[in-house]
Amino acid sequence: MGLPAAAPLWGSPGLLLTIALHPALSLRPAKASAPQPRDYCILGAGPAGLQMAYFLQRAGRDYTVFERAANPGSFFTRFPRHRKLISINKRYTGKANAEFNLRHDWNSLLSHDAQLLFRHYSSAYFPDAGDMVRYLRDFADRLGLRVLYNTAIAHVALAKDRRAWNGHYFILSDQDSQAYRCSVLLVATGLSVPNLVDFPGSQYAEGYESVSVDPEDFVGQNVLILGRGNSAFETAENILGVTNFIHMLSRSRVRLSWATHYVGDLRAINNGLLDTYQLKSLDGLLESDLTDLAIVRDHVGKFHVTLKFFLEETNQSAEAIPLPQDDNDNFAMRVAYDRVIRCLGWNFDFSIFNRSLRLSSGAAFGKKYPLIKASYESKGSRGLFVLGTASHSVDYRKSAGGFIHGFRYTVRAVHRLLEHRHHGVPWPSTEHPVTQLTSSIIRRVNEASGLYQMFGVLADVVLLKENATAFEYLEEFPMQMLAQLETLTGKQARHGLFVINMEYGRNFSGPEKDVFFYERSVGHTEDAWQSNFLHPVIYYYRHLPTEQEVRFCPADWPLPRPAAIHHIVEDFLTDWTAPVGHILPLRRFLENCLDTDLRSFYAESCFLFALTRQKLPPFCQQGYLRMQGLVGTESLRQHGVESGLLRGYATTDGQPEDSSRQGGHPPSPVQPPDSNKEEL
Amino acid sequence: MHLELMMSSSFSIFRVGISLVMLCIFYKSAGDVLPELSPHKYFSTLQPGKASLAYFCQADSPSTSVLLEELNEAVKPLLDYGISVAKVNCVKEETSKYCGKEKDVMKAYLFRGHILLREFPTDALFDVNAVVAHVLFALLFNEVKYISTWEDVQNVENALKGKANIVFSYVRAIGTSEHRAVMEAAFVYGTTYQFVLTTEIAVLERIGPEDIEYAHLYFFHCKPLLDLTQQCQRTLMQQPLTTLNIHRFIKIMEAPLLTEVAEDPQQVSTVHLQLGLPLVFIVSQRATYEADRRTAEWAAWRLLGKAGVLLLLRDLLEVNIPQHANVVFKGEEGVPVEFLVLHDIDLLIARVESNAHIEETGEDEGDIQDDEVAETVYRDRKRQLPLEVTVELTEETFNMTVMASDSVVLFYAGWEAVSMAFLQSFIDVAIKLKGTSSMLLSRINCGDWSDTCTKQNVTEFPVVKMYKGGKNPVSYTGMLGTEDLIKFIQLNRISCPVNITSVQEAEEYLLGVLHEDLISYSSVSVLGIFSPTMKTAKEDFIEAGNYLKGWVITGIYSEDDVLILSKKYAATLPALLLARHKEGKIDSIPLANTHTQDIVQIIRSALLETFPEITVENLPAYLRLQKPLLILFSDGNINHNYKKAILDLVKQKHLDSLIPCWLNLKNTPAGRGILQVYFDTLPPLPCLVLVNLHSDGQVFAFPSDQSITEQNLFLWLKKLKAGLQSHITILSAQEWKPPLPAYDFLSMMDASASQYSTSEAPENSKETDVQENDKKQHEDKSAVRKEPTETLRIKRWNRSNWFKEAEISFKHDKEL
């Protein structure tokens, strides 16, 4: 199939090309019989494919990216049609923390190269798609990623082999019938097939992918746009000023991203039509199921909307077809349209995958996405992972997994899973004494971008060691795979665990919600569980939840019911470092889960405890007793005495000054610490 | 303060017919016990005009019954109102018409003097509340009008317009605790206000839309009414019906609605403040006085029962208040007032209500910082630290700086209290070392430069690393304090182990001359001596020296003439020579087949003294030995004789199983705290104590009447060993549990979910109208947001026993 198409190319080559091609030609027959082996094959050199290539390259793995076009990111060379990306490129946050800044940089891929940040490529808050193309090319070039351009994989099949990592190889063949044998297949082909809805007259609709973007072509026209996504509104926005009016038709109500907190819904930057609709201009929105409709063309080439069953009743010429307004003379779409534009989104291209791969589409979201697990592995064949936009079924309409700023983290998670599965590298983690627990969590919730972007999907996990004296901290684990954590990460979770997730308020997001209602913000720590804006939530489990528990977790809960839960109260600045408002309640939560005292103490207090009590708090055990006590300065000591937390000893010969203790600082050495606590 | 108020009012209640003096005489002997009398005896004790409740029963009836128990409990409260209670035994000899014919139809009777007022069937007096409520109800027949229709209420209201105020209450039933509370209030205020009582829900519904589940009390402001066609203003009491709440409510209603003042708001106090309500001053100017007064009156009505409202005349004021402020808010006595700019009354009301909220939550000790490090750092946050004495590193400058110069870097995080506390010590180090050290003191805030810190393998805080000569950095593992860090930096000036090149130099080294300036940081100098061929032994020692870098000075000598040293110090090669500079002593330790870690151990234990002064800094090193401590506490330096006695025992190896040490209270004032735990009160000093930290926590004290001599000590220790001494205390073996509970968000969410599901259930079934749905969602939401927190706060209210305590004192005063 590829060969005839390639033949004309060879017809006219000069000498140079012939020489260059000669070795390739002579090798080809031999190779066709023995496909080139690769450990990892990535389909598509878009953002997700390149992101995975980067991680594989850094890990020193054997991989190849296959790209149909001559350059990376070919989707962005055409789309979005009006060239404005709606992913924000926030160049300034007032903070130096690079990880934090990624929370507000929705275009960069992850790498160690600070030059490869998108802010070096565009100064626009909503950048031009051309800059993305340039960025992706640089990303591939600067990092030296191994991409086979102009290689269109036309077919993927499965070949059983007991020696293969997954019991089978993936056999890829390109347009030249060159075959590649891959142990792991990473599909990052995005959504490339325009979504078509079949109804009578659908052939009259021009597609978003090909409709003119020149407003001049729409001057004085009545335009009907099918669809209500960003592409529909982007199209409308472009021609809003020159048309007579634009009607926009879709099954469901408009979903404003600032109400749903989902970046894939209608963004304010595209919502000009809503503004004019509500301000009594001629533009408007209509709700109806497209599959019930039909479009008929009259003799002057204008389009009329009618109902499908009218057509079924009669089989007449266009003029005679009944229209809704015949019976119902105030029918909303009774005017004739000059143009009908279809902006119904995109679907995954299933066509190249052999049926043996069982890469079926999920039922939940129509046929848009291939069916995958929360680990991004296909439900049909082991070793096939779907990355990037095509993997969005995991968190469709919930989180950011369909967008660069989200999937750059899910791709990293997949890479970590692969590293463990095939190379015995456990999930990266750091180990700390329990006294660092509060601080470790505070650090992550304040800076981690993966948690922030992929809220509800990727969560940090704290695995407690025996007796909870130490813990391991794992970042950005796909939380729906919690039950399989041990096998996926190579870590032990026998002594309880914490899961750190970011969440919006349970009942805050939704297309019909008023997100600006009065008193929407919560300020008091005891009301933290009612926080509406994105805030950290910490789940405590005594045992790793089972698969059953994860699958059947309570409605509205992202995870099974924990033994205890903590919400860090939402913060206007997303800065959760307030000592009393944020850190103290978190510490109390952790203390009560672990049944211990996690306060920090100065060396003098530890000294006193060491000589007056048989047991020491963890902070003294792990610091002071190892000769790493915190000495403190005189001025801090003074504050301590004033606050009543530290004891002031009179230096005179008289009785010690004891009044400061009377306030009842709970664990004075004389009185045992207050052990009454609420049952968790 | 509350106490005084209660007293004044309770005295006012003693009205005609009830003599306080009589009461006292009558009950002097009886106390609070239900007296048992014969009918004759009983009637002879009745005083004219005095009320008395008597329960007549057959002599052979059981002496205890539920009724008797309740009556017994009612003795004291009724006594407070001057009403006596008695059990009258109907004996055969004395017949009385009150003694029933049959056992089970006995009744209780209320008399005033000898006049029978009312008889009660015994089942009406089901508990102490019922007893008190019924008796007072009967006595206050005129003061408390019982009504059952709305017309009755209106009739009373019309009759009293312009004359007197009304206290209207609805209780669910007669004889309940709320009924009793109303009656007790009526007893006090019945002559001042007309009390109206109903048990009819229909009547209550006419007044207000409030939840009729509960008892209600309204104050009808009828007295000030001029236009008799108008309705009296009504104020609902928000708190539950208890005697104290009603009392407090009426006190507030009695206070003037609006007061004009021209003094410093800080100094102004009214009954509101004393009753725990805030004061709101509406600032007025002469020019707008009339309008301001109207506003203030309006506000006062709206805030009635929630705050006291005053009109503050700015022009007459001597103190300055901020120009723009139009409201001054005074939350409580002694707390600075707040100056506010509020543009409408709703904001003002919201402010007052939020204050109530803050007050309630403020009681929650869970919000109070109990981490001494976090609290001290927070309190010190506004002090400007001389940060400029250290170099601040960033992602860009980090690598360059640590490559270019020898640096000590502190990794800290702005939000991490321990690292911020240590930052202060670090700054002190920089100040102390200024100009004396070539070491660059620098710091990096990992809150800002997280990646840089992670690249240096720093993921917890604080961490100190020393970067020297482009080699791998060395982590500092000592005490997080100025002294130890200085010692570490200074000792790192030389590269240990120091390579000694001649016997002469070795002698200088051992004498402390070679590194004279460093001797104060390392009390011991260690010299490893090896013959040139002992390759592995040398390597092990060098590794150990590296390991102990910054802790102790080490040196190595392995020239051909090493035998000179070996002979001089009687050491077989390989060996360690330990020069103790303070004592001027040089010991030798053989090192045959000793590996790095063991060498480190040997040197570490060599650093320990035989009779050390224990300090905060060095205690952990001695605790590692896991032996009981024999501590001599001393206020100042110890007596030479004591020292000698102990050292002699050490020499005789009698103290091998112990760590003899002493503690100077002047250097280590925390020692006082320790002694207090051991002895409760501070014992005479010096005092000698044996602390068995590692086995059972027993503490033994050397008898204070004996002098600390070698002989006495020896005998005491011998007795101790034989178990013949008893301990003075056992140290607490308590685990370190969470100091306070956490918020139980899970149950709060459960509570809200259960409520949500019940209220939402019908809604789900009719999801047709989107708009209606939308509306509902918000209503539900507000309910969800509100209710559980509300219940929680109520719980918190109950937890504070302010009311209980006050109630007790209230009763107590009455008894006087």
Lowest-confidence region among A32-36, B406-410, B702-706 = A32-36
pLDDT at A666: 40
Within A595-675, where are the H helices? 603-612, 618-622, 634-643, 659-662
* B574 upstream amide cis, omega within 30 of 0: yes
Summarised one tens digit per residue, pLDDT across range B489-548 is: 999 988 889 999 999 999 999 988 888 888 888 888 999 999 888 888 999 999 999 889
Of A577, A602, A656, the CB nearest to B373: A602
Question: How many Å apart are CA A508 and CA B615, to the nearest integer?
Answer: 57
Lowest-confidence region among A347-361, B567-581, B688-702, B793-807 = B793-807
- Phi and psi at residue A536, to the nearest 5°: -75, 140
List C-alpha distances in Å: B344 to A530, A554, B292, B299, B351: 29, 45, 12, 10, 11
List C-alpha distances in Å: A170 to A43, A179, A457, A488: 12, 10, 28, 22
Of B234, B233, B248, nearest in space to B181 by CA: B248
Number of H helices, E strands in chain A: 21, 22
Is the pLDDT higher at B340 or at A486? Answer: A486
Predicted confidence band of residue B768 (pLDDT cuts 50, 70, 90): very low
Summarised one tens digit per residue, pLDDT across range A224-247 is: 999 988 999 999 999 999 999 999
Predicted confidence band of residue A317 (pLDDT cuts 50, 70, 90): low
- Kindly identify which residue of chain B lies nearest to residue A610, measuring between CA atoms: B693
pLDDT(B351) > 90: no
Summarised one tens digit per residue, pLDDT across range A544-576 is: 999 999 988 888 899 999 999 999 999 999 999
Across the interface, do B620 and A526 touch by the CB < 8 Å criterion?
no
User: Are the beta carbons of B194 and B167 closer than 8 angstroms?
Assistant: yes
Residue type, A524: H
Is the pLDDT higher at A34 or at A578? Answer: A578
Tell me what the mean pLDDT of segment B269-277 comes to. 84
Say how many CB pairs under 8 Å bridge A and B. 320
Give the 3-state secondary structure of residue A43.
strand
pLDDT(B364) > 60: no
Tell me what the mean pLDDT of segment B98-102 comes to. 68
Of B482, B666, B736, the CB nearest to A615: B736
Predicted confidence band of residue B101 (pLDDT cuts 50, 70, 90): low
Helix (H) or strand (E) holding A133, with range, is helix A129-142
Question: How many Å apart are CA A226 and CA A521, to the nearest integer?
Answer: 37
pLDDT at A364: 55
pLDDT at B813: 39
Tell me what the mean pLDDT of segment B402-418 comes to. 94
Q: Which A-chain residues 476-535 have CB contacts (< 8 A) with chain B?
A: 507, 512-514, 517, 519, 524-530
Question: Across the strands, what pairs with A304?
Answer: A296
pLDDT(B764) > 50: no
Of B370, B734, B742, the CB nearest to A672: B734
pLDDT at A365: 53
Across the interface, do B373 and A670 touch by the CB < 8 Å criterion?
no
Question: How many Å apart are CA B803 and CA B806, to the nearest integer?
Answer: 5
Summarised one tens digit per residue, pLDDT across range A173-201 is: 999 999 999 999 999 999 999 998 888 88
Of B374, B459, B629, the CB nearest to A430: B459
Question: How many Å apart are CA A634 and CA A628, to the nearest integer?
Answer: 18
pLDDT at A457: 96
Question: Across the strands, what pairs with B691?
Answer: B629, B699
User: Are the beta carbons of A444 and A99 closer than 8 angstroms?
Assistant: no
Contacts of B375 in chain A (CB under 8 A): 639-640, 643, 645
Tell me what the mean pLDDT of segment A139-166 comes to. 95
pLDDT at B347: 78
Spacing of C-alpha B408 from chain mean position: 40
Over chain B, what is the mean pLDDT? Answer: 81
- Kindly identify which residue of chain A lies nearest to residue B476, measuring between CA atoms: A628
pLDDT at B373: 95
Question: How many Å apart are CA B808 and CA B252, to the nearest integer?
Answer: 21
Could you give the angle at the alpha carbon of A204 between the alpha carbons of A201 and A207, nearest 5°? 120
Within A493-644, where are the H helices? 547-551, 584-594, 603-612, 618-622, 634-643
Across the interface, do A529 and B749 touch by the CB < 8 Å criterion?
yes
Summarised one tens digit per residue, pLDDT across range A419-446 is: 999 999 999 999 999 999 999 999 999 9
Is the pLDDT higher at B334 or at B659? Answer: B659
pLDDT at B211: 61
Across the interface, do A629 and B378 touch by the CB < 8 Å criterion?
no
Over chain A, what is the mean pLDDT? Answer: 87
Of B383, B670, B733, the CB nearest to A604: B670
Give the 3-state secondary structure of residue A619.
helix
pLDDT at A291: 84
pLDDT(A676) > 50: no
pLDDT(B43) > 60: yes
Question: How many Å apart are CA B426 and CA B408, to the nearest integer?
Answer: 10
pLDDT at A147: 97
Whether A59 contacts chain B with CB within 8 A: no
- Kindly identify which residue of chain A lies nearest to residue B420, measuring between CA atoms: A632
Residue B640: CB atoms within 10 Å: 8
Across the interface, do B380 and A635 touch by the CB < 8 Å criterion?
yes
Summarised one tens digit per residue, pLDDT across range B589-606 is: 888 888 899 999 989 888
Instruction: Give the number of residues written for chain B.
Output: 816
pLDDT(B812) > 60: no
Is the pLDDT higher at B323 or at B562? Answer: B562
Across the interface, do A565 and B745 touch by the CB < 8 Å criterion?
yes
User: Are the beta carbons of A83 and A165 closer than 8 angstroms?
Assistant: no
Across the interface, do A607 and B447 touch by the CB < 8 Å criterion?
no
Q: Specify which of A250-259, A357-366, B364-373, B803-812 reaches the highest per-range mean pLDDT.
A: A250-259
Question: How many Å apart are CA B120 and CA B131, to the nearest integer?
Answer: 10
Q: Which two tokens stand for residue B592?
A: 């045959």
Q: Which two tokens stand for residue B265?
A: 């708001």
User: Are the beta carbons of A111 and A139 closer than 8 angstroms?
Assistant: yes
pLDDT at B592: 82
Residue A119: CB atoms within 10 Å: 15
Spacing of C-alpha A178 from chain mean position: 34
Residue type, B578: L
Q: Which residue has the tokens 């509104």?
A: A233
- B580: Cβ contacts below 8 Å, ≥ 6 apart: B523, B524, B586, B587
List C-alpha distances in Å: A352 to A33, A155, A183, A356, A462: 21, 5, 18, 12, 41
pLDDT(B28) > 80: no
User: Are the beta carbons of B273 and B308 closer than 8 angstroms?
Assistant: yes
Predicted confidence band of residue B92 (pLDDT cuts 50, 70, 90): low
Tell me what the mean pLDDT of segment B160-180 comes to. 88
Tell me what the mean pLDDT of segment A285-305 comes to. 88
pLDDT(A594) > 90: yes
Helix (H) or strand (E) holding B556, with range, is strand B553-557
User: Are the beta carbons of B701 and B719 closer than 8 angstroms?
Assistant: no
Tell me what the mean pLDDT of segment B625-633 comes to. 93
Of B461, B669, B744, the CB nearest to A651: B669
Q: Which B-chain residues 393-432 have CB contacts (< 8 A) with chain A?
A: 394-395, 413-418, 421-422, 424-425, 428
pLDDT(A509) > 90: no
Give the start-end residues of each E strand in B656-786.
Answer: 659-664, 687-691, 698-701, 729-730
- Phi and psi at residue B309, to the nearest 5°: -115, 135
Is the pLDDT higher at B632 or at B108? Answer: B632
Q: How many CA atoms lie within 13 A of B738 on its CB side?
A: 22
- Kindly identify which residue of chain A lies nearest to residue B699, measuring between CA atoms: A612
